[in-house]
Amino acid sequence: MKATAIAHANIALIKYWGKKDPKLNLPENSSLAVNLSNLTSTTTVAFSDDFDEDSFSINATRENIEIERLIAHINLIRDLASTKQKVKVVSENNFPTATGLASSASGFAALTLAAIAALGLKLSEKELSLLARRGAGSACRSIPDGFTEWVAGTSDKTSYAQTVFDANHWNIAILAVIVNQEKKVVSNTVGHTLAQTSPFYQTRLLRVPKKIKAMKQAIEDKNFALFGKILEADAIELHVITLTSDPAIIYWDPATIRIMKLCQTLRQQGLPVYFTFDAGPQPVLFCLQKDAKKLETIIRSTKGVLDIIVNKPAEGARLIDKHLF
Ligand code: DP6
């Protein structure tokens, strides 16, 4: 009754922002993402009659855990297996939790896969993705391999992510740049609700299907300049929505803007690098793998940069034999 899963965080290329159904995490729009090789959550789950209560620890602490959200997710899985057994969950992120580096995506993907396996249930990748989505919307994209598309769908059974290109499709590097290690002030759940208050939100929703099509084509053609142009435009558009929500949410820090400008300068100097970010201050930079070392050196010496995690496209969630307890 014990299983361990590892899942990667993913960064959206075309963003999910706003929900049609907050309870089911049905998004207003489809999205595209890629899994990140060096940002992982590893989670061991056990169910037993011997446990008196549910217990959760993340990075060896019980603090800062959204306990109700976790229990709600475990309850969905307990219902699937018709069990009332209590659970023990131990999870480790290899990166700071809740700073906009998508810990909820890798966390809920690993939790879902480990809990399903611990109860001896067998689900398809699609069913795992549907279920992970209930924990955190973006978690559905951390189940399949590589570059993924989350098709918005219209119901609990039609909203899930699948691979569009596998992890080996393209030799790109993805640098997650940490410029702020404080916990986020506004949760994504609140941000998604506020999206509707931006006067530009409906316009964005109309634009997304075309962007997804163009982005998929750019990835298929390995057209890095076009890929980067669509990537940056969508990241900026997400933040235009948050900046024009009521109340406004300002996620960027001075270092975020410094790095956006630096990307433009580096491109003028012949180094192709493009930025994105989620709902947070951390820039995530895309370059070709051959340029990754050079770019890392430049970014490390930039004011305000605390750390960099260099990634390539990664596989989906999977079970491993090494348990955390
Ligand atoms: C800006 O998946 O964290 O990163 O469904 O409320 O858990 P919940 O939200 P979450 O939202 C992610 C938003 C985003 C864009 C994206 O990943 O597509």
Percentage of the chain beyond pLDDT 70 is: 97
Rounded Cα gap, residues 213 and 230, in angstroms: 11
pLDDT tens digits along 281-301: 999 999 999 999 999 999 999
The 3-state secondary structure of 282-304 reads CCEEEEEHHHHHHHHHHHHCCCC
Cβ(313)–Cβ(288) below 8 Å:
no
Locus of tokens 């640098």: 175
Position 99 scores a pLDDT of 55
Round the average pLDDT of the chain to a whole number and report it.
Answer: 95
Expressed in percent and rounded to 5, the helix, strand and coil fractions of the chain are 40, 25, 35
pLDDT tens digits along 146-198: 999 999 999 999 999 999 999 999 999 999 999 998 877 788 989 999 999 99
Question: How many CB atoms sit inside 10 A of residue 70's CB?
Answer: 20
As for ligand 1, residues whose beta carbon falls within 6 Å of it are 12, 15-17, 25, 31, 104, 136-138, 188-189, 192, 278-279
Mean pLDDT within 70-87:
97
Peptide bond into 281 cis (omega under 30): no
Q: Would you tell me the crossing angle of helices 125-135 and 103-118 to the nearest 10 degrees?
A: 120
> Ligand 1 centre and the CA of 192: distance in Å?
8
Q: pLDDT band for position 61 (50/70/90)?
A: confident
